[in-house]
Amino acid sequence: MLRGLVRRQRRGSARWVAAAATLVLTAAVGSTVASPAHAETLPITDDFENGGWTTGTIPGKTDAFIGSLGPSHSGTEHANLDAHPHTPAMARVFRSITLNNGAPLPPRTCRAGVWIRTSTGHVQVLLTVHSGGPTGRIISSTGRDVDNSGWAQMTFEPIPWPADSRTITVEIAAYRGIAAADDFTFSC
């Protein structure tokens, strides 16, 4: 009889421990989901090695991927953007930047830089910044014609940071050619 009581008490303790563990895990998952994704501190340097970039293509006309087709500027991976010979189709990559401070940023002027290498001798590169996500209001859009065959650094400025958002989305696109992008920087 005493043995049966001890077993029941052990089973009861085991159930209590399992229930407590489930509650702790549920709370941890809930707080993880609620926290902002990719909260960052400026300045930002991104070498395309750690994910975070999303590709955007027009099926059958353009191609974009993160990988190692040809030499990278640094590391082993970079963005490959193929929008050749179709026009006005574009190949693009984009990522969001969410600042880790809790208050909205006051209006500031920022700048972005990226290293570009062409494969076709000529390509149009466009850097677009959206307030919020990739379909948000466009706050800056600057294009450059690139004619180099090696890696060349391109700087885009001024880029205003929106006073009503802690998140922006940066998009790098290629038109009328093939380009590689690597070593993205963003600072205010």
**49 and 118 inside one domain:** yes
Do 156 and 68 share a structural domain? yes
Residue 122 φ/ψ, nearest 5 degrees: -150, 135
Quick: pLDDT tens for 99-131.
Answer: 876 655 666 889 999 999 987 778 899 999 999
Contacts 24+ apart (CB under 8 A), 25-32: none
Rounded Cα gap, residues 109 and 176, in angstroms: 30
What pTM value is reported for the model? Answer: 0.76
| Terminal-to-terminal C-alpha distance of the chain | 74
22 and 91 inside one domain: no
What distance in Å separates the CA atoms of residue 155 and residue 21, rounded to the nearest whole number? 51
- Rg over CA atoms, the chain: 24
- Shared-domain flag, residues 95 and 175: yes
The 3-state secondary structure of 34-84, one letter per residue = HCCCCEECCCEEECCCCCCCEEECCCCCCEEEEECCCCCCCCCCEEEEEEC
CB 146 within 8 A of CB 123: yes
Predicted local confidence at residue 91, as pLDDT: 95
Instruction: Report the amino acid identity of residue 179.
Output: A
53 & 141 share domain: yes
Looking at 31-45, 69-83, 164-178, which range is the least confident one? 31-45
Query: Are 10 and 84 part of one and the same domain?
Result: no
pLDDT of residue 22: 37
Whether residue 8 is predicted with pLDDT greater than 60 in this model: the reply is no
45 and 29 in a single domain? The answer is no
- Assess whether 18 and 82 both reside in one domain: no
Geometric angle at alpha carbon 98, from 101 and 132, rounded to 5°: 120
Alpha helices in the chain (DSSP H): 2-34
Q: How many domains does the chain have?
A: 2
Residues 6+ apart with CB under 8 A from 14: none
- Judge if 30 and 48 occupy the same domain: no
64, 18: one domain = no
Co-location of 148 and 91 in the same domain: yes
| For residues 28-39, average pLDDT | 39
129-180, pLDDT tens digit by residue?
A: 999 999 999 999 999 999 877 899 999 989 998 888 889 999 999 998 999 9
* Residue 75 structural domain: 39-187
- What mean pLDDT do residues 32-50 have? 70
CA distance 102 to 20: 31
Q: Are residue 27 and residue 86 in the same domain, yes or no?
A: no
